Chain A
Amino acid sequence: MPAGVFKETYGEEIAIFRYPIHYAGAALGLLFALMLPILVGPYYMLLAVSFLIFLVGTVGLNITVGLAGLISLAHAALMGMGAYVTAFLAEKGVNILVAIPVAGLSAAALAFILALPSFRLKGYYLAMASLAAQFIIEYIFALIDPDQYVPIPDEAKYLGGIYLGRGLPLYYTTLAITIVSILTAVNLGRSILGRAMKAVRDNDVAAEVVGINVYYVKAIAFTIGGFYAGLAGGLYALYSSGIGWEGFTLEGSIEYLGMVLIGGPGRIVWGSFLGVLLVRTGWTLLESTLADLIVSYVAAALKYLILGGMIAGFIIFEPEGLIAVLRRFKEYLRLWPYSY
């Protein structure tokens, strides 16, 4: 806690922005986010859009995995649920800005059903249940989407004459929804519900005995995670001309889990941010660089080797993720040159 800052109310103490530096940081960050289209070309702007979409999804998984400690391997399927619901509604002529929240809610409903096993299961059993769920949902997608492609009609993507599906409107729409998602996630994290999730994660037996309805908390953690996954799916439908179930397979779920575990489980915003930046966006950029330098199959194998190695490595050496590494680095810089 920086010196010279005193809080007068309890409310101030748990505010999101507690110190002047927080305000400055938030303002600068927002400014950067808003000006990004000016700073970079259209391709990087679209890359940023896909970054934001997956950030929303990862924030959701970070609540399920990081806060509540429930391993979920069905996150990509939940995202798919959101995308399919959006596609279905858009087909029916519903505006996409209406469809996206509905997508979130329907994915949340599905997640709630998936959470039912978590009432009786923990740890490895839950991981297996969600794995089964991932395959079952994938199978159902394949049945309802036999063409492996559902187009999202452009007509649904208009807001007062502005086409939201590309360029700046796409970027700002995604950014706005992402910011709201992140703020609500932070609020949930600092609420009693968020604390109860952490309690369930740290010691679910004791949590039950000290008065936490563990079933309820687990279910709600899963449901909230599902909501954000669905939201990401809806955003994805906005960004994309069409969806196919092959985009929401187990590999996607593992990648999501990797982003949470590498970035920083339990650090909803910054952990997810770093995870997506490194695992998804960073990798896309790296792949573009590598593709010109080395033989493609080596690059392809590297994808598996590096992502897998990082997941295992972080769990063994730094379970708190990249965010903890950065924090230590920051502390080191702060104290430099006196290392004590």
Chain B
Amino acid sequence: MQAAALEWMFDGVWDRSEHYAKRPERSERPILLAENITVKFGEIVAVDNVTVNVRQGELLAIIGPNGAGKTSLLNVISGFYKPVAGRVVFKGQDISRMPPHKRVELGISRTFQHSQLFLGMTVLDNIIVGLFPWRRTNTLAAAFWLRSARKWEEWARESVEHVIDLLELHEYRYRVVGSLSPGLQKRVDLARALVQNPEVVLMDEPMAGLTREEKEDLARAIIEVHETQGTTFVMVEHDLEVVTDIADRIIVMDSGRVIAEGEPEEVVHNPRVIHAYVGG
């Protein structure tokens, strides 16, 4: 008893496998379900009774014109918005009432349309902060830099180095993110999500504002993670070209509703989609 208490105080136990749990195989089974979601801002209905079913291991894209409610839907899934109606289910568990940081701990990470990095911090620190839910030190251990704190730091650095390798951020490690280009900032944003080793990554317009080259780099990285680790991606995107290239499945939204759903090829040729994009 006493030994356990001491261990908790001074030398938190850290099991690596906890963080690197093995992913299940890709399947038709839904991993994430957003059901009958409605979001309102005052009188404006941003999302109107939308149901989205995300399957295990897929790369799902949500597209649609501006104001279609895509980002709002993402915000509901990540817990930032409270929907007026509907629920969010992750791996069979209703997470509708869970605060955002808890959802991250469960395995839902996200990136942002406009850089939401911590601008005063270095790239390294920005990514490490993503590991906050998995910290295994308490305040006292941190204050005296006890073994648990040191070991955790090393573990965290290894994890970070892994994503730095993956996203080729080596030379920017010690740069303050405020001084980086938008493209690099997006990469850091993704790195921060990936270091959490999530089961589902929600991406909000990852390609917006990037050069063609940057888009290709980013797409390659996403595909690599998707294929090697079996991570599920839900991507809100504007750029149809990228989406049709990499998505397994596409959902099209307009004016807060889902207007089409299916394989990239069939969706792109759906007349309602063409109408919404071109005619709308």
What is the interface of chain A, defined by CB distance below 8 A to chain B?
Answer: 1, 9-11, 13-14, 184-185, 187-188, 191-196, 198-199, 201-203, 205-214, 220, 224, 266
A-B contact pairs, 6 of them (CB 8 A): A10-B157, A192-B129, A192-B135, A202-B118, A211-B109, A212-B129
Find out whether the CB atom of A208 lies under 8 angstroms from the CB atom of B99: yes
How many angstroms from the CA of A323 to the CA of B101 in the assembled complex?
A: 34
- With a cutoff of 8 Å between Cβ atoms, the chain B residues found around residue A195 in the complex are 121, 125, 128-129, 132
Report if A220-B128 is in contact (Cβ < 8 Å); known contacts: A10-B158, A206-B118, A209-B110.
no
Find out whether the CB atom of B80 lies under 8 angstroms from the CB atom of A224: no
- With a cutoff of 8 Å between Cβ atoms, the chain B residues found around residue A10 in the complex are 153-154, 157-158
B119 contacts the other chain (CB 8 A): yes
- Of the candidates B100, B118, B135, B156, the one whose C-beta lies within 8 Å of that of A199 is B118
- The number of chain B residues touching the other chain, given as a range, is 35 or more
B185 CB, min distance to chain A CBs, angstroms: 12
Find out whether the CB atom of B121 lies under 8 angstroms from the CB atom of A210: no
How many angstroms from the CA of A12 to the CA of B132 in the assembled complex?
A: 21
- With a cutoff of 8 Å between Cβ atoms, the chain A residues found around residue B230 in the complex are none
How many angstroms from the CA of A201 to the CA of B132 in the assembled complex?
A: 15
Report if A191-B142 is in contact (Cβ < 8 Å); known contacts: A208-B99, A208-B101.
yes
- With a cutoff of 8 Å between Cβ atoms, the chain B residues found around residue A184 in the complex are 143-144
Find out whether the CB atom of B137 lies under 8 angstroms from the CB atom of A191: yes
- With a cutoff of 8 Å between Cβ atoms, the chain B residues found around residue A220 in the complex are 139
B170 contacts the other chain (CB 8 A): no
How many angstroms from the CA of A178 to the CA of B120 in the assembled complex?
A: 28
B162 contacts the other chain (CB 8 A): no
B152 contacts the other chain (CB 8 A): yes
8 A Cβ contacts from B86-118 to A: 99-101, 104-105, 109-110, 112, 116-118
8 A Cβ contacts from B139-164 to A: 139, 142-145, 149-150, 152-154, 156-158
How many angstroms from the CA of A220 to the CA of B138 in the assembled complex?
A: 11
Find out whether the CB atom of A206 lies under 8 angstroms from the CB atom of B117: yes
B262 contacts the other chain (CB 8 A): no
How many angstroms from the CA of A11 to the CA of B153 in the assembled complex?
A: 7
- With a cutoff of 8 Å between Cβ atoms, the chain B residues found around residue A212 in the complex are 101, 129, 132-133
How many angstroms from the CA of A188 to the CA of B141 in the assembled complex?
A: 9
Report if A198-B118 is in contact (Cβ < 8 Å); known contacts: A209-B80, A211-B101.
yes
How many angstroms from the CA of A199 to the CA of B135 in the assembled complex?
A: 15
- Of the candidates B105, B116, B145, B150, the one whose C-beta lies within 8 Å of that of A211 is B105
- With a cutoff of 8 Å between Cβ atoms, the chain A residues found around residue B153 in the complex are 10-11, 14, 191-192
How many angstroms from the CA of A195 to the CA of B145 in the assembled complex?
A: 15
B256 contacts the other chain (CB 8 A): no
Find out whether the CB atom of A210 lies under 8 angstroms from the CB atom of B120: no
Find out whether the CB atom of A209 lies under 8 angstroms from the CB atom of B100: yes
